Structure 1
Amino acid sequence: MKPMVIRFFIPYAIFLLFALFIGWFMHEQTLSVVETQMKDANMMVLDQGKEILDLRLDEVASIVRQLELDPKVAQFLTVERPLEGTNTYRIVEMHKHLYEHGLTNKFITNYYLLFRRSNMVINRTMAEQLPAFYEYRYSVADKTYEQWYSEIFDKFRQFTVLPASPMLLDGKPHTMLTYIHSMGLPPVSSGVIAVSIDNREVQTLLEGLDLSTDGWAYIADKDGRLISYVTKGSDVIPEIVKLDGDKGVLKMGIGSKEMMVTYTTSTYNGWKYVTVQPTHIVLEKVNYVKRITLFIAIGSLFLGIGLAIVLAYRNWRPVGRLVTNNEQLQQKLKDQMPFLRHAFFERLLKGEFASDSEIELLMEHLGIRMEGNGFVVVLLHLRDHDNEEVLSTDMLLQRELHRLLLREYFSTSTEIEVYLHDVESSKLAAIIGGTFSSQEVRIDFIRELLEETKEEMGQLHGMHPVFAIGSVQPSYKGIARSYEEAKYALNYNIWHRGKDTVWFEQLPKESHKYYFPTDTEQRLMNVVRAGETEQLQQMMEELFDENFVHRTLSLQMLQLFIANLIGNMLKLSEQLLTTDLGEAIPVLAKQADSLEGARAVYHQLTEILLAITDAGRQRKKSGNIELVHQLVTYLQDSYSNPDLSLSAVADYFQLSETYLSRIFKEHTGHAFSDYLEELRMKRAGELLQDTDLPVSVIVKEVGYQSSNTFGRAFKRVYGVSATSFRSAGKP
């Protein structure tokens, strides 16, 4: 019997060892695959959330900069008594003015302008004193008004985000992040721009993570402060993990549990995006596979090879569920891919990337394979309803159908990958790459492709698109240039009613852009406002030389340049309240119907601008004379006030000290302090000569607090002391 048992046991033992080896190998492979997929999935969700939040915060920073640079906001920083005099009108004006800064960003719940000196808070819908605002509209949990006021004003902050906190907004509970930006000069904060961001908007970016009841995900700033977090268990309190490096996945002990930590760091603001999951949760299904494998091995001892195979087959069912769950997660990520690709091509065509390496990294991340030794952008213009001012629903549906047909054709009719991007409702941008032996071969290929497309679309679908082709560029960054060239070629073709296909390199070699950069445009408007006629004359001559002499611009481009100039003139005329140009401007614009006509119109516009500048200067000069008259009268009535000074007078007239000092010197020929001193000394001489008042009394009568200061000033003006002046009876 024993030999027979041994003979049966030996092959059984061999099969059992083989099954155990297979089970162990499969377990290790599954463990590796699941860990890798979980790490990659977590990292992808964190990176996606990071990119979206960076973009949103950059939009918030842009809105904050606009508010900070707004002149009305800057002027209100110095107001101390907001409810007195003209300050009430300032509040109303700024309240109305803030309507121009509308909230088009759904990421922002609201913003507030808080002013320290006036103790006011103003936004698009309200203007209140700070204490009332905090009591009835905006209060932070567990913070008194004094604590909140100290946190907001005592520290000078620039583009800082405070962690999410529970608060009451208009009596309703919310959890908000607060974006803080101090105004004024550091270290003192004269005012604060506070932007409220709903914490739910931030938490939404982390909802794609599988956290379980013991896990959490959070965002921390570069100083380690918790900005926002999400958990599945209500009693889970996130713990900030100390991490080295900018990105990675690691296992560590947190409390009494082993955790898997995935993290990445934003290059925009240094924030860390972290997910913490119990390792046993991540590997739970794999451990389940391991237990089943062991059970199969033990069962195989009693039930034989056949039962072991059945159990091994059943052992794969949990793995199948695991794969299904992973596929669902991948599908969720795949659903977001079209939006990310659209944003990528938008930035690529606008030239917003810094290097080819950055573009290659994003293409790999998005699954875009655009390779070759050259790249061309073809702009496809659907001109089916160009002559219609308003498109009906049927027209829009027809245009959308044509776009889909073009996409389908390009995706199936060529062996080279062609990427299409929606530019406008009637335009598509096609990016064509590929490797060719020469540029001539590439051009022939593109020409043949476009001819086939034109023929196919025309015969089968009645479409007659226009193709505008930019030049061939050797790198990814050059795609933006090829796109701009294609746009120029299309506009040129529309203007000149050209053929269905236009190549940028075949256009007439003329300068295709007029010279009137934004900084020059702003400087010209400032020169006109300042009344600097000589400087304006010089600038207009420089613009004429650049656009009419040094550049060979088309008539259309010159007309655009003149239209831009006319627009600035109309704004200046309205701002400076000069003669209405509404009737004269259309007549002038029509005269620019030829190159000579454009030159003549430019010279006429120069004369009009000079007239506007001179009129503004005269009005400004007249206003300054009246202001100086008021200043002199005020000084003559108030010189006996010992607190009278340049700063006090500037505050009284609501002017800057520099501006007041300059116009006073221009119109009186005296510095402010010298004039005030002469006024006081003149009165002191009269009192010394005509009265018997003691010198100590005269000192106070003429606005001095110190006899020594008075004595030095008197001797500087009259050459002798006050006592000697009285004794000698000098006039």
Structure 2
Amino acid sequence: MLKNSKIFRKFLISYIVILIIPSIAGSMSYRTSIAVTQSISIENSITQLQKAQEILERRMAEVEGFTRQLALNEDLYVLINKKPNNLDVYEIWKMTKQISSYSQTNDFLQNFYIYLKNFNIILKPGSAYFRPEHYYLTSYYNDLSLDEWKKTFFGKTHSREILPLRPFVNGGTQTSAITYLQSLPLSSTNGSSPAIVVVNIDSGTIDSLLSDFQDRYGGWANISDEQGHTISIQGTGKAEMGKLDGDPRFDKQKISQFYNGDLVITIRSKTNGWIYQAGIPRDVLMENANTIKYISWAVTGVALLIGLLVGLVLSYRNCAPINRLLGIMKEQFGKDEAIGRNEYDFLYGNISTIITNNKHLESELNRQLPLVRDAFLKRLIAGEFRTREEIESAVVLADIGLNVDTGYAGILQIHGYAGMDSVEILNELNTARLILKQAMLDDDSHILLTDLGSDRIVAIFASKSGEAGTEAERENIQNTLDKHARFVFDEYRITITAALGNYFSTAMEVSYSFEQARKTMEHTGDTNGQGTLWFSEIQMKNETYYYPLELELRLIRTIRAGDIDEAKSIVGLIIARNTETWELSVEMKHQLIGELKGTLLKLLDQKTFLESDTLENVKNRIIDISTNDAIEPIQREIDGIMEELCELIASKKNAAQAKIVEQINQYVAEAYGDPQLNLYRIAEKMERPEKYISQLFKEVTGTNLSDHLEKIRMDQAAVLLSANDQTIDEIASRVGYNSSHTFRRAFKRVMGASPSSYRQTVKD
């Protein structure tokens, strides 16, 4: 059995040895629990104070960023630079509306205003005071008179200036606040500025960041600036802090130290120089030490028991695959083979053998790679590939490393060996082919070569970047062939001629270009010694026409798919092949046009066209095509018929798609309250793939399906909020949200306001 195997026992012993280590640590943990708890508590307190510092500095940075945003506000800039006698009340009202949104993003911006010196106006979110005295009646500092307030705030330039904590009355409520001042524009340096941004930050907002030190620990907290002015203070007074700072026993450079029974933590900000201090009583720090000591043995015992059970499970699970692997190895390499000293040596030896055999197989495959490439090229020029994807897969398998989508196909023939088939001649021909192929590959890496009989070589010239189908590419190929023809003649007295087909624009057309090269090769005897002949240079009078079956099937599939551009391209290719390079007889021309008409008539038998009202009209247009007309008007008429067919297919497709989208909208409108409603559920309902449903809805409506579902839910939530008879949690559940927090975030993102604010707005 598996549990009785050697591997199982080895794993289990290993886990038991590992369990002994925490057992020893558990027996010693109670001795060090006090020191560890004290160290952790200090670190946690420091971390907590650092987090409060980070939050406060981030909020202050947001306040500073807010003033920089105001400095870039074009409407505010216009107001600052207007003349005093050119006051526009609408612009004032517009600016108060603009700044209203800032107070919703940061609780430090709940009470701010902008003073415009040219108009002597104070702008607040949603309101304006046309005299600062009016603002001073409701919001003022207890220790500053009106004149002192104006002189201190508006009589000079401020650059990120922070005034320390001072008593402040806000709307009749007595509180304390620190004040952030920034002149606008930011470059103001002349003693006064056109505008001042004033942000009053309530002490309670800052105190909330440090409340844990008093509420949780019964301690105190204090924040002061570089000059010692108080920013925030809790659980103690300014007198006690003065004694602490003046006591020589207190080291101000230490982060943590015990002072008069308290752990005092001191952090100095590198950003603004503020000093953060917090005090925690020693007895609170050590409260959990004894509890940890008492439960340490219990935890150790439970950990041993659980660890033993886990060790049994892991031992069984880890040894199972090794035993299965051993069984496979024994089965493959012989059941009677001795395992040896241990199972791992047995596995190591057999896996090494497998790796060695794999490397040998890889080497053999690499050796066979030229044969695979040669077979690929022969299939390519023979036109055996049915799809582009099949060609791409074969290119990867053959490791071609070239893009064969565009270029020219050609045939090179070695002369001087006709009628001689002795072994010596064949060997000499093989040598000549190898010399020619090696010379061409060394000179240009964009050439693919394969043999075609004993005295012919097929060459595929892949287009280089930027040269596809250009005259420059033809000249480069011509020069390359001429150069190699001279080289092999001068060095080895080998004479070659080359025949090249027309340019192919896709890999599927390589076989067409090769067939053209093969037909061109038949005319090389009439070139009076010319080394290279192009298919476009010969005029062929053919006794038949070019319209292969595979091209007809491709045309039918293309029209069924509604791809009019590809259909026109195929018809253009057929016409070009039969008129530009061949000279068709009148009879062959009539037969070709008749075949094209027959192809179009075959399409009309499809269900899509049989149900159409335009069937008879299209059918008559096809029948009325006269084979006696010139080829150009015939091609234009065929293109027009194909356009009408493709438009009909597109309209049918659009109608079907619109129906699916309508069903989706109806289903979403009915099931939006289901929290499990998502793209998968909708696709399952529509019996379509998820990707298809998503892309279809986006294409038809211009909106993502997830955004549409969210909008439906938010619209319904807005209706329920207007009724004012359900809580926000109940509304969130009714519109398909399990979490009210997620609902609130989504509602604010879509509607621009929180649910409670929206309800209050509707109520007002």
Q: TM-score range by the shorter chain?
A: 0.3 to 0.5
Q: Normalising by structure 2, what TM-score?
A: 0.33
Higher Cα Rg: structure 1 or 2?
Answer: 2
TM-score (norm 1): 0.34
